[in-house]
Amino acid sequence: MSSLERQIQDVLETVNAFASHTDSQLVELRKDVGVLKSDVGVLKTDVGVLKANGNSLWSIVNKMSSEMALMRSEMATKTYLDEKIADLRGDLMLIARRGNRKLETVVEALQTEGVLPAKVAERILLMEPFPQR
C-alpha cells in the first residue's frame, strides 16, 4: 500500500470514527427529545388540570364573595344595635318610673290612712331605683 493510499485510508477511518461518534450523539439527542416531548405532554396535561381547578376555585371565590355581600347587607350594624338598645333602655326606664309612681301613690295613701308610719314611708321612698327626697 502506498503512502497516498495509507493517507486516504487514515482519512476514511477518521471520518468513519467521527461519523460513528456523531451518529451515537444523534441517537442520544433523539432519545432526549423523545423524553422532552413526553415531559411536555405531561406538563400540558398538568396545566390543563390546574386551569380547570383554577376556574373551579374562581367560581367558589366568586360565590363566597356574593354570599359575604349578602350577609353584609343583612347584618345589623353596631350603630343600629346601639340605637335599639338605647330605645329599649328608655322604654324600660319609662316602665320602671311608672311602677315607682304607683308605689309612691300607694305609700302616700297608706300613710294618709294611718296604716303606714311616716318613718317607714320615708324609708320605702328612699329605696332604689328612684329614691325620693
- Tens digits of residue pLDDT in 26-48: 999 999 999 999 999 999 998 88
Give phi and psi for 129, each to the nearest 5. -90, -15
Calculate the average pLDDT of the chain: 89
Q: Tens of pLDDT along 94-123? A: 999 999 899 899 999 999 999 999 999 889
Q: Which grid coordinates belong to 133?
A: 327626697
Number of helical H runs and strand E runs in the chain: 3, 0
Counting residues of the chain whose pLDDT is more than 70, the rounded percentage is 99
Q: Which three cell numbers stand for residue 27?
A: 441517537
Cα-based distances in Å from 51 to 38, 41, 42, 48, 132: 20, 15, 14, 5, 77
Closest by CA position to 124, among listed 111, 114, 113: 111
Q: Is the pTM for the entire model greater than 0.85? A: no
Q: Cβ atoms within 10 A of the Cβ of 107, count?
A: 18
Question: pLDDT tens-digit profile of 54-96?
Answer: 788 888 889 999 999 999 888 888 999 999 999 999 999 999 9
| pLDDT over 80 (residue 132) | no
Q: Quick one: pLDDT at residue 133?
A: 62
